[in-house]
Amino acid sequence: MKSLMHLLRLTVSLSWNSLKSWTTKLIHTLW
C-alpha cells in the first residue's frame, strides 16, 4: 500500500514536470 502511494506520487511528479516543460516550450514558441 505504501509503495502504491509512492508510485502514485512519483507519477504525478513526472507528469507535472513534463506538463511544465511542455507549457514552457509552447510559451517560447508563441512569443
Predicted pLDDT of residue 30: 87
Taking the whole predicted model, whether its pTM rises above 0.85 is answered as no
Vertex 29 angle, CA 24 and 30, to 5° = 100
Count how many residues are written for the chain: 31
pLDDT of the residue at 7: 96
Q: What is the residue range of 4's domain?
A: 1-31
Residue type, 22: W
* Grid-cell match 512519483, residue found: 10
Q: What is the CA radius of gyration of the chain?
A: 14
The helix/strand/coil state of 9 is: helix
Q: What pLDDT is stored for residue 22 in this prediction?
A: 96
Structural domain total, the chain: 1
| Coil/strand/helix, residue 8 | helix
Read off the pLDDT of residues 1-31 as tens digits, 9 standing for 90 and up. 799 999 999 999 999 999 999 999 999 998 8
